């Protein structure tokens, strides 16, 4: 099912789908995962970025940044 085009093309296509025998095709589920997954990605992004933007870095902070990056990437993988 084609989903690209300008506004007038899409309006015509939607009208054709709505009027076809048997009714319109089933709707596709949302892409990108659940709202909870999106929230987790955004929530894990802030602490990761704040730690990456630190002016001074000590050994313990390196491990903390590594941990925050892994949390973010895990959340992102679940979203993807």
Spatial separation of the C-alpha atoms in residues 78 and 66, rounded to whole Å: 19
pLDDT single digits (tens) 8-41: 988 998 898 889 998 888 887 766 678 899 999 9
Sign of the Cα torsion 67, 70, 72, 75 reads negative
- The tokens for 41 are 């990605």
Alpha-carbon gap, residue 71 to 79, rounded angstroms: 13
Question: What is the pTM for the complete model shown?
Answer: 0.59
Tell me which residue has tokens 């940044």: 65
Q: Quote the mean pLDDT of the chain.
A: 89
Distance CA 79, CA 30 (A): 12
């Amino acid at each position: 099912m084609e989903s690209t085009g300008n506004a007038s093309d899409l309006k015509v296509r939607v009208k054709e789908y709505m009027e076809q025998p048997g009714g319109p095709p089933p709707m596709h589920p949302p892409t990108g995962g659940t709202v909870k997954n999106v929230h987790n990605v955004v929530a894990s992004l802030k602490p990761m970025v704040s730690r990456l933007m630190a002016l001074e870095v000590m050994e313990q902070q390196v491990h903390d940044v590594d941990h925050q990056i892994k949390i973010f990437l895990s959340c992102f993988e679940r979203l993807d």
